[in-house]
Structures are given as C-alpha cells and as structure tokens.
Amino acid sequence: MQLNSDEKIDQLSANGFRLIQKTDGTAFAADTVLLVNFCDIPEEQLKIADLGSGSGAISFLLKEKCENFNITGFELLPEMHNLSIRNLSLNSNPPGIEFLCLDVREIPISYPPDSFDMVVSNPPYYKINRGKISPKPFRAHARHEISGTLGDFIQAATHLLKDQGKGIFVLPADRFQEATELLEISGLKNRKFQYVLPREGKKAHLILLETVKSRIPVVSQKLPDLLIRKNSGEFSETMLEIYSKRVIP
C-alpha cells in the first residue's frame, strides 16, 4: 500500500485490522478506544452508523468487537473519506463496512430515517470561539465545530435511529449540561454516563454517554468514574484491560 508523506500505518490489535492514519494529530486516541469499549451491545446483527467517521478507526474497532455488525460511516471531508476507502482496501474489504461522503447536517434531509439500531460518534469537541483552530485542515475539522455543531450531530443521530435505538457519544465533560439540554429537545434520553479522568486527582475531561430514542422518560444511571493514568504516569488497571482487549497501546 502506497503511503503519502503525511501518513502512517497503525495496527488496531494484535491479529486484527490495520489503519492508515494522518500524522497531523487526527490519528485515533484513547477517546476512540473508550467510546468503542463503552458500547454495551449484544453480539448480534446490528446496523450501526458512525458519524464523523474520519479514517474509519471507530468502525473497524466496532467490527472487531462483533463481525456481525453492519456499519456505515458518514464523513464530510472527501480526503478523509478517501482515506477510509483505502483502509477498506488495506484490510481486504471486510464485508459489512461502508463509508459515505456525507455532511451530518445533510443527513436529516438526504438519508432515510429510522435506519439504524445504534449511532456512535466522537464529534468535534470545541466551539469555533474556543481555543486556537489548527492550521491543519483535518485536525481543525476534527477538533472544532467548523462543519457541524454538537446539536447537528445529535439531530442526525436522532433521525437515523430506530425507536429504542442507542446513541453513544464521547464529549468534553464541561459540555455535559449542554448535551443534556440538546438531547431533551431531540428526543434522545440520557440512559447512562461515565466521567473519564485523565489522571488521579484531576477533574474529568471527558464523558461517555449512552442515550436511547424513546418517547417515555428514562432513568439515567451514573457509572463509576474511569481513570486513564495513575500519578506514576502508568495506565490504570481498567485502561490496561481495555487496551488488552481492543487495541495495542
């Protein structure tokens, strides 16, 4: 497989998929692995949508979790969509994965509703007016809401999900309240959530969120906090267990 000067190939797991990724800071990180691990789903044939699929990391990790999944990735940027197509080829075109070049903001008007059992997403973390926007286009779109807000991603998920379908998100912890308000408007209900702490003694920087498309109230469950690293800098036992099952750290 021919690589461009700004690309590399990473192994997703010891015996699993490989992935061509950009070296500009958009390669998958702990939040991607945590999101996939948080997906508590039966090993059966489910239709899953990956919103903002990028190079395809989440889709391939989900496919490793259960080969019966049928996964459709939606990606706005043609360059990243092309990268995900190349990753399909790199992995001998595994059945049950496809990637579409489609803006999440266009999904409610251009894709059939009630089409998926589950939607997963690692949407851009920051609003346009927060922090410095990277001069690197791929990283800028991955980190800031240049081409879709949190509300846009939630609206697209609501449109795509069947009744009682799950929407799984990883978000900055300080956007939890905003997300809760957007979910109530959309029709998704917060079913369970988990704060992620970067290190012992630090405040949570991420939150993992499982929602359900439901017309009736849902009791929300708070899971124990998840610690990434100890004060020594080593991964916590929980993270070591997650990585050992899903991906080489």
Q: What confidence tier does 136 reach under pLDDT thresholds 50, 70, 90?
A: low
The mean per-residue pLDDT over the stretch 191-207 comes to 96
Q: Is the pLDDT of residue 199 over 70?
A: yes
In a domain? residue 233: yes
In a domain? residue 2: no
Averaged pLDDT of the chain:
89
In a domain? residue 1: no
In a domain? residue 223: yes
Tokens representing 108 are 């409610």
Top pLDDT among 117 and 133 is at: 117
Position 11 scores a pLDDT of 86
Asked if residue 58 lies in contact with residue 122, where contact means CB atoms within 8 angstroms, the answer is yes
Q: Is the pLDDT of residue 141 over 80?
A: no
Position 104 scores a pLDDT of 95
CA angle 222, 67, 152 (to 5 degrees): 50
Q: The CATH number of the domain where 237 resides is what?
A: 3.40.50.150
Cα separations (Å) of 59 from 62, 67, 114, 182, 240? 5, 11, 20, 25, 22
In a domain? residue 33: yes
Please count the structural domains in the chain. 1
Return d(Cα 154, Cα 174) in angstroms, integer. Answer: 17
Whether this prediction's pTM lies above 0.85 is answered by: yes
Q: Is the pLDDT of residue 204 over 50?
A: yes
In a domain? residue 121: yes
- Tell me the sheet residues that pair with 51: 74, 121
In a domain? residue 207: yes
Q: Which domain holds residue 87?
A: 7-246
Task: Label residue 154 exposed, middle or buried (CB < 10 Å: 0-12, 13-18, 19+).
Answer: buried
Helix (H) or strand (E) holding 210: strand 206-213
Return d(Cα 217, Cα 108) in angstroms, integer. Answer: 24
In a domain? residue 65: yes
Asked if residue 157 lies in contact with residue 119, where contact means CB atoms within 8 angstroms, the answer is yes
Q: Is the pLDDT of residue 249 over 50?
A: no
- Within 8 A by CB and 6+ apart from 26, the residues are 54, 55, 80, 138, 139, 142
Q: Is the pLDDT of residue 248 over 50?
A: no
